[in-house]
Each structure stands twice: as structure tokens, then as C-alpha cells.
Amino acid sequence: MAPAVIDEAVWGARVPSISALERELTRLRRAASAHAKEQGHSVARAAVLNLVVYAEREMHARRAAASTSRLSDRHPSRAIVILGQRKREGVDVAIQLHCHVPRPDETAQICYEQILARVSGDADERVASVVIPLLVPDLPVFLWWTGTPPHDTRKFDDLIALADRLIVDSADFARPDQTLAVIAELARTHGGRKFGVTDLNWTRLTPWRELVAAFFDVDAWRPCLDNIVGVRVGFGVDMDGRDIHPSQALLLIGWLASRLGWKPVDALAPSEAGGLLFKMANAGGAPIVIRVRPRFERGIEPGDTSGVRLQAKHGADLYEFVLKRDPDPRHVTATVLVNGETRSRRVLPLPEPGIEELLREELSIVGSDHVFEDALHALVALA
Amino acid sequence: MSATAPIAANPLREGLRLQRVPKPATLVLFGGSGDLAHRKLLPALYNLALQRLLPASFAVVGAARSPVSDEAFRAELHDAVATHSRTKPINEEVWSAFAQNIHFVATADDAGYDQLARTLAQVDAEAGTNGNRLFYLATPPQAYAPIIRAIGKHGLRGPGWSRIVVEKPFGRDLASAMELTSIVHEVFREDEVFRIDHYLGKETVQNILVLRFANGIFEPVWNRQYVDHVQITVAESLGVEERADYYDHAGAMRDIVQNHLLQLMALVAMEPPAAFDDRAVRDEKVKVLRALRPISDREVAARTVRGQYATGFIEGTEVPGYHKELAVAPDSQTETFVALRCFVDNWRWEGTPFYLRTGKRLPKRSTEIAIRFRVAPHRIFNRDSSEGVDANELVIRIQPDEGISLTFGAKVPVQGFRIRTVNMDFVYGASFMLDAPDSYETLIVDALRGDATLFTRRDEVEQQWTFIDPILDAWRRGVPALAPYPAGSWGPPEADTLIERDGRQWRRP
């Protein structure tokens, strides 16, 4: 149950209307600038985008607000956090103005705005009317939906219509298998206008995809890509054996399938302890055995990829391309084996990006990522 | 491009996130134990490895005259990277995996080069570098010709692509630059030659092109009708220090003007290229250099200033004059300051002066381009209220504190009209507060990918020298005289006279 009273020390004072909010922002900006002047600094107001965050719990809203604050160094934005709470009537708007804390050697400060709109009760059709006047004109609108996006609700549809880009995290979905299909459908239906969808689980995969792709830049290994016979992807689970959906691992497989023209042969079938075992067919019709396996390893977040192994027949030889997280989880070892014998081995840093770094990457992309959408559609076709 | 067997493209590379990583290759580093390799190149390669921007198969083969073992070479580079890397401390796991593919070959004689050929073939087979080779000349310039010829003679070009990166200075006048080009062409085609000008690898320099050509509002006023003049400044507060030996033979003209300053000017003055690729961009730049009005013997005294710093103060510390620097001849006539008044004789810029200046031991380090616009054609506010209002100025700051600012007049909030100049400032580090990659990282990746947009083409270098040579010639004959300036000042008074004669003033960067 959300607290009835918002912590004004965090979110700023409550204001009665949008115009009062704008006045309050002006006042706070002037105060910040006066304060900076006393310190011998100057403050620049900057915004490169509008970031609309939707959260259903105050804790999530706070966490999101903290993330957007830290993002202000690279993506100063007007952040509008919508806290959607059931069971209360009316719309509350509270304001907060933050100034990025300068490092001692800096003279410039960035001043940006964070607005909390607390939406209580059955107010679905009102949400957009609060957001629209708050958007900074001419700048792109990113909608970051924390939790599971509710399809077929008025507020979701309205906000999607305002947004240039939707950011979700399938690691937080209650039922990823269902919701990913909804997201895929969204990407398809809104494909006509300038609109893109992204999943932070996809962003987490970028280093893995980079490393997989790099194997096949080597001329000698490139032919193996057309002769893959087996794929194994491991994903992290926690000790209590909670049911973790391998949506990240499946996105990786969806990506391989969409880029290499693999087709589903049979539907996803559960195998040992929450894993999956199924077959696909490559562009020539030859079978590929795919295994998705849960792994319990220290330092790996539930759902995160722990390793990838691609097996390929080339002539009489069996090639294996292996990526494995090292015990020290910040590294990955990329190995190529031919008939079990190591041909190449390199160690690379594998960053473990927090939510801010993931958002940072996504906020720098305006428009759609068709490779992601293809991977998503391939994944949905599997289910 | 190169004559590799038809290997299908890698379909996994598609999409906007995975395109920067170059194809497998070997980097052959001549001058592998030198200062440039230690301070810039190896730290850049290591940081690329950290960012996973190096190909899956990548090897470095260092070559120099005196032999060292692979292990000793790796240890030496490890220490260099640990000292000079922009990210610290060094990540030992990444370094040791990277270092496995570092080799060293001594190339003092023919046998050494034959050994280098064998090592390269072996690396190709073992590391899977596809026979692609990037030769990097990080040696003193006098070693360029013998190395290039040895590459040809010993068949060091691989079965994949081969490219060569040549460091500055590319020649010391037109004749020597042309000679060097013809030697390079004995072994490499022009499209395989990457003449490095590290200024072009800087983010903000590339941003000049983005500012001009990705925005619709600047280009319509980017011409003689609206622009009063342009000032480009490359100021350093340092003296010559340990580079005195090189510098005393080069001088500011060869060190900065011929390459960096003329490149910046070309980027400001060029016509919009039809595409952002190496051919279109460089075609346009070379057109500007060709349109540069030559400075004749008659004009050299009025259009150029050369200065040399004397004793003075930098940041409160007394510093010695140029003559007293180590390894500088006491009667050296080498210039440490240059100011030029240039014109680009084309439709766009006819009659618009470009003032260029560079110097050592100036009050602060600053590189910037200032576009000064004409004043409003008709004054509707009375003189008293608009006193002190300047013409609009667009300033592109390249270093430090990268950014762009535009000044304009605004009304002071009082009753009646008082107008003053205000500054609208875009600070790069504030809107995008990230570590910009080092220019060598950008340029090495570009060379590995075969993108020559940010490298200097033969005709550009030749045009640059064509412009510079007659000035240096006159200077050698003592026209105009070398003007001393105290360290810590903005150059000799002659530089002020140069611009004040036109009724203008230098900016204070």
C-alpha cells in the first residue's frame, strides 16, 4: 500500500495546478542560480529530451527519479514521473528541482527538472492531460514504463501515442512470454510513425552479441555461421529456485534466428529445472538443437546470460565458439575450439551495466532498432 | 578494395549497435619502442580493447632497429600503458590476453625484414587475422623512406588488405612532401595511405561538420554576405620543452599552421559535401585549399607575422625565453608564433578575411574558431542604449572546455532601452558529460575500417605546402623580421597591427 502522503523533502512542495507548477519551477531555478552565484558558479538549464516515467509504487518512482538524476550528466531531461496509485481520487502534482552536484573543478552546473505527477484512483483517461502541458516542446519523448506494461488500457495507449520511444525491461515483466508478444505487436502497429520500442534486456545483450558477431569476422571461421548445429545459452537463477523466465536468453536466440534465417521446428518445450530444449531449422533446412539452461553462479543476476556456446560442423571438424563469464564476473573469455582443442582465446571486460547505463545507451538512440524488432518477432514466433 | 577471396559478409553485424568494430587485422608498428608508441598508440589500442572495439583476431607486431624479446617488448609496453592510459589502473586480465598477440621483430637489416615477413605470415595463420595489415610509421621522418621501400622489397603486404598510416610531419616543404608521396606510391595506392592529423580525430572538430551540415539555420548565413571575418586560434601555454630538437627545425608554421590550422580553416570554409565519405569531404576541403589566395613576396610583410617568445610569466611562474630552452641554438630564428591574414577566393568567401594565429607560451591553452557576423544593417535603437553591443559571434571551442556559444544583444530588464551582449552557451561536457575518446582511438579504428575521411589526402598536403612554401621562403630572407614577445602575452604587437589595420581586433579566447 502506497503512503497517503508524499515525502515533500524528496519530491518538492505540492502545487495546485500546472501554471502554479511552472511558476514554482521558475522560482526554484532562480534560487538555484542565485545560490550558484554565491558559490561563484553559474547554472545552465539544459534539456535534450523529455523522459516520462510510469511507476505504480512510490519506491519504484523514487528509484526511477534517482536514476534520471544521475543520467542528467549526459541526458539532461525534463523528467515527468507518473506515480499511478489505485484507490484514490484526483491528481496530485508535486515539483522538485534538482541541480547536478558539481565536482570541485567544475564551474558549470546543470539544472534540470523533475516533476512528480501522482495519479490516484480510477484516473486513466486523465493521465495524458497532465503530461501534455508538461512536455518541453520540440524535444523527443521517451516513455519508460517500469513493471509490466498493461495493454488495452487508456493510460498506456495515450502515453504511447505521445512517445517517440518506449523503454521496458522484460526482466521485470510478470509474464514475459505474454508481454513480449504484446510489445512485438506494439512495434508492428506503430511502425508507420516515428516510434521505437526497446527492452533493457536487449541492451544487456549488446556485449554478448558483439562478441558472438566478432567470431565470424575471421574469414576462416565465417563459413561455420552457415553450419551451426547446436546452440547453448545459460542464464542466471537465484538460490531459492524462483521461476525465472529466460527472456534475455531467448532474445539472443531470436536475434541469431532472425539474422541467420532460422525457422522454428517445434514449440518451446521445458527441460530440466526450468530450462528449455527445442529444435530449429537453418536456412537450408538442417536441424539446430537449442538448449537454454538455468545456471546458479555467484555474481550473476537472475535472468542474465551466463554463457553462450555455438557448435558448427565444418568439413569433418567440429568447431565450438564459446563465451563464458569468468569467476570474477566482470570478465568474459572467448574461446574457439576445433575438435575440442583450443585455437584462440581472449579475455575481455564484460561490463555489468546498472539501470542507468542501460538507459543511457537507450536514450542516445532515437527511432527504432529494427534488429531488435526482428529478434523479438522471431522470439514470439517460437512460443 | 582489396583482393580477398569472396567471403560472405557477416550477417550478425547488421544494425546500429554493432558496426564500429573493425575486421581482423595485424597492426605492424614501426617505431614500436618510440615515444609516440608509448605515449599514444599503445594506450589507445589498450583502451580500444577495453571497450571491445578491437576485432576478434588482432595482433600487434612491433618493429624497431634494436632487438628485444617478445616478453621484454610486452613488459615495456605494459609499463607504457600503465603510465599513459586515460583509464587507470590497467586491467591486467585484459592486458595479458591482449599482450599474447604482441610480437616484436628487429628490422635492422634485410634479414630482419625477412623475419618480419615470416612472423606476419605466422600471425595470420595462428591468430586468424585474414592477411589484413595496417602498417604504422611511428618513427622519426627520416626513417619513412627506407621502411616503405623495405615493405615493398620484402613482400610484407598481406593477402588481405594493406594500408599505411604516416605520422606528421608529412614532408617539410612541397618538394619533400611530393617525394615522400612518390616513395609511398611505390608500394601503396593512394587509397591505402592514411596521413594522420590527430586534430581531425577530435570530437569537436568533427562537430564542426555536424554543426554546419546537420543544421539548417547556419548554412544560409555562412558566407561573405553575413560573415564579417573568421578568427582561428591555436594557443598553447607550454614552451618547447623536450621537443626542442624537432621544434627548432620545424617552427610553428610547420608544426601547427601547415596541418592543424589549415585543416580547421578548410572545415570552416568548405562547401557542403554531397555525402559524408572520404572522397566527398576531402574533395571539398581541397577546393578550399586551392582557393586560398597565395601570399606573395610583396604582401608577406603585411599579411604575416612571425614571433618568438622571450622571458615572461606563465601562471605566475617565470619562464625562460625560447633562446634559453635546452637544445635551441642561441641565435635560432625559429618562429614560435605565427599570425596570418588569409582569403579564400571563391564565390562564398570573396573579401572575407580569415585571421589565423598560433603560438607557444601564450597566456592559456585554447583552440577555437570564431565566426564574427556583420552588425545589423540599420540601427533602430539609439546610440546610447546600444553602446557596447557587439556583432553576433559564433564561437566553436575545440579545447579545452569544448562547446559552442553564440552571442547576441538582449534588452536589460529595466524601464526604457538598454541593450547588452549576452552569451548563449552550449557546453559539450554539460550536455554530454562523457569521456570523449582520445583522437588516436578514433583514428586507429577508422584506419582499421578503411575510412579515410579524417585523414589527409595527397592533394590536400600538397596544397597546404603550396600555400606555406613562399611564406617560409620570404621569412628565410628575413621578411618580415622575427618579432619577440614576452611569454604569457598574446603574441607580438605586430600581430595586433595586422588585424587592427582592417579595423578589427583579436578576440580574447
Q: Counting every residue, how long is chain A?
A: 383
Task: Nearest by CB to A46, from B100, B127, B430: name it.
Answer: B430
CB B459 within 8 A of CB B278: no
Beta strands in A20-107 (DSSP E): 42-45, 49-55, 77-85, 91-99
Nearest-angstrom CA–CA distance, A362 and A199: 9
CATH number of the CATH domain containing B33: 3.40.50.720
Instruction: Read off the DSSP letter of residue B344.
Output: B
Q: Do B18 and A220 touch (CB under 8 A)?
A: no
Residues on B contacting A at a C-beta cutoff of 8 Å: 4-5, 7-8, 10-18, 21, 23-24, 49-50, 52, 55-57, 91, 93-94, 96-98, 100, 127-130, 160, 425, 427, 429-434
Query: What do you get for the CA distance between the two ends of chain A, in Å?
Result: 35
A176-185, B146-155, B160-169 — which is least confidently predicted? A176-185
Q: How confident is the model at residue A103 (pLDDT cuts 50, 70, 90)?
A: very low
Q: Is the pLDDT of residue B445 over 70?
A: yes
Residues B141 and B209 in one domain: no
Nearest-angstrom CA–CA distance, B411 and B419: 5
Instruction: Read off the DSSP letter of residue A101.
Output: P
A14-18, B258-262, B318-322, B502-506 — which is least confidently predicted? A14-18
CB B259 within 8 A of CB B464: yes
Distance of alpha carbon A356 from its chain centroid, rounded? 10
Residue A341 has a pLDDT of 92
Question: Crossing angle, helix A127-134 and helix A18-38, to 10 degrees?
Answer: 40
Chosen domain end from B151, B167, B183: B167
Give chain B positions within 8 Å (CB) of A30. none
Give chain B positions within 8 Å (CB) of A346. 56, 97-98, 100
Q: Is the pLDDT of residue A93 over 60?
A: no
Best-predicted range by mean pLDDT (A83-87, A342-346, B26-30, B425-429):
B26-30
Q: Is the pLDDT of residue A379 over 60?
A: yes
Residues B430 and B300 in one domain: yes
Residues B246 and B157 in one domain: no
Four-residue CA torsion sign, B145, B148, B152, B153? positive
Query: Is B260 noted as a catalytic residue in this protein?
Result: yes
Q: How confident is the model at residue A98 (pLDDT cuts 50, 70, 90)?
A: very low
Residues B120 and B217 in one domain: no
Q: How confident is the model at residue A95 (pLDDT cuts 50, 70, 90)?
A: very low
Of A137 and B100, the one with more pLDDT: B100
A35-39, A78-82, A105-109, B191-195 — which is least confidently predicted? A105-109
Rounded average pLDDT over A109-135: 75
Q: How confident is the model at residue B115 (pLDDT cuts 50, 70, 90)?
A: very high
CB B410 within 8 A of CB B422: yes
The owner of cell 505504480 is A56
**A141–B contact, CB cutoff 8 A:** no
Q: Is the pLDDT of residue A248 over 50?
A: yes
Report ipTM (2 d.p.). Answer: 0.74
Does pTM top 0.80 for this prediction? no
Q: Is the pLDDT of residue B199 over 70?
A: yes
Among A162, A47, A60, A168, CA closest to A118: A60
Of A319 and A115, the one with more pLDDT: A319
The owner of cell 635546452 is B326
User: How much is the mean pLDDT over chain B?
Assistant: 88
Strands B133-137 vs B162-166: parallel, antiparallel or unpaired: parallel
Question: Is B16 contained in some domain?
Answer: yes
Task: Nearest by CB to A110, from B52, B430, B434: name it.
Answer: B430
In chain A, domain spans: 8-163, 202-352
Rounded average pLDDT over B123-128: 85
Residues B229 and B323 in one domain: yes
A49-63, B277-291, B292-306, B333-347 — which is least confidently predicted? A49-63
Of A370 and A311, the one with more pLDDT: A311
Task: Nearest by CB to A213, from B12, B94, B430: name it.
Answer: B12
Question: Is B451 contained in some domain?
Answer: no
Residues B304 and B367 in one domain: yes
Q: Do B430 and A108 touch (CB under 8 A)?
A: yes
Q: Do A218 and B128 touch (CB under 8 A)?
A: yes
Residues B114 and B23 in one domain: yes
Of B68 and A131, the one with more pLDDT: B68
A54-63, A90-99, A270-279, A327-336 — which is least confidently predicted? A90-99
Edge-first strand listing for the sheet containing B419-427: B419-427, B403-411, B393-399, B366-373, B227-235, B353-359, B337-343, B304-310, B483-486
Rounded average pLDDT over B101-109: 93
Model confidence pLDDT, tens digit, residues A19-44: 777 777 777 777 777 776 676 666 66
Residues 347-366 of A with CB under 8 A from B: 347-349, 365
Percent with pLDDT over 70 in chain A: 81
Give chain B positions within 8 Å (CB) of A222. 7-8, 10
Rounded average pLDDT over A207-222: 90
Question: Is B118 contained in some domain?
Answer: yes
Rounded average pLDDT over A159-184: 88
Q: How confident is the model at residue A90 (pLDDT cuts 50, 70, 90)?
A: low
Q: Is the pLDDT of residue B386 over 70?
A: no
Model confidence pLDDT, tens digit, residues B49-66: 888 888 888 999 999 988
Query: Given 3.30.360, 3.30.70, 1.10.287, 3.40.630, which CATH number is that of A202-352?
Result: 3.30.360
Residue B3 has a pLDDT of 42
Rounded average pLDDT over A218-228: 90
Chosen domain end from B115, B150, B167: B167
Question: Is B97 contained in some domain?
Answer: yes
Question: Is B172 contained in some domain?
Answer: no
CB B222 within 8 A of CB B347: no
| Chain A residue with Cα closest to B436 | A74
The maximal CA–CA distance of chain A, rounded, in angstroms, is 76
Domain that holds residue B290: 203-378+426-439+463-500
Q: How confident is the model at residue B418 (pLDDT cuts 50, 70, 90)?
A: low
Residues B278 and B224 in one domain: yes
B55 φ, ψ to 5°?
A: -65, 165
Four-residue CA torsion sign, B254, B256, B260, B264? negative
Question: Is B151 contained in some domain?
Answer: yes
Residues B160 and B211 in one domain: no
Among B450, B379, B473, CA closest to B194: B450
Question: Is B290 contained in some domain?
Answer: yes
Nearest-angstrom CA–CA distance, B214 and B225: 21
Task: Nearest by CB to A260, from B11, B18, B24: name it.
Answer: B11
Of B163 and A159, the one with more pLDDT: B163
Catalytic residue among B78, B103, B198, B260: B260
Residues B364 and B487 in one domain: yes
CB-based burial, A25-58: b 16+ in 10 Å, e otherwise: beebbeebbeebeeeebebbebbbbbbbbbbbeb
Give chain B positions within 8 Å (CB) of A108. 427, 429-430
Q: Is the pLDDT of residue B434 over 60?
A: no
* HEC assignment per residue over B240-275: CHHHHHHHHHHHHHHHHHHHHHHHHHHHHHCCCCCC
A260 sits in which H/E element = helix A247-260
Model confidence pLDDT, tens digit, residues B158-169: 899 999 999 988
Radius of gyration of chain B (CA): 25
Sequence-separated (6 or more) residues with CB below 8 Å from residue B22: B53, B54, B55, B445, B448, B449
Residues B135 and B207 in one domain: no
Residues B110 and B256 in one domain: no
How many domains does the structure of chain B reveal? 2
Residue A245 has a pLDDT of 82
Q: Is the pLDDT of residue B2 over 60?
A: no
State how far residue B355 is from chain A, nearest Cα, in angstroms.
30
Q: Is the pLDDT of residue B4 over 90?
A: no
Edge-first strand listing for the sheet containing A263-264: A263-264, A276-281, A287-295, A228-236, A305-314, A317-325, A331-338, A341-349
Interface probe, candidates A347, A359, A362, A368, chain B, greatest B C-beta count within 10 A: A347
Q: Residue B194, SS3?
A: strand
State how far residue B100 is from chain A, nearest Cα, in angstroms.
9
Q: Residue A94, SS3?
A: strand
Chosen domain end from B111, B143, B167: B167
Rounded average pLDDT over A248-274: 86
Rounded average pLDDT over B229-248: 88
CATH number of the CATH domain containing B210: 3.30.360.10
Nearest-angstrom CA–CA distance, B22 and B11: 15
Give chain A positions within 8 Å (CB) of B97. 345-348
Residue A107 has a pLDDT of 42
Question: Crossing angle, helix A176-189 and helix A247-260, to 10 degrees?
Answer: 40
Q: How confident is the model at residue A74 (pLDDT cuts 50, 70, 90)?
A: low
Radius of gyration of chain A (CA): 24
Of A274 and B313, the one with more pLDDT: B313
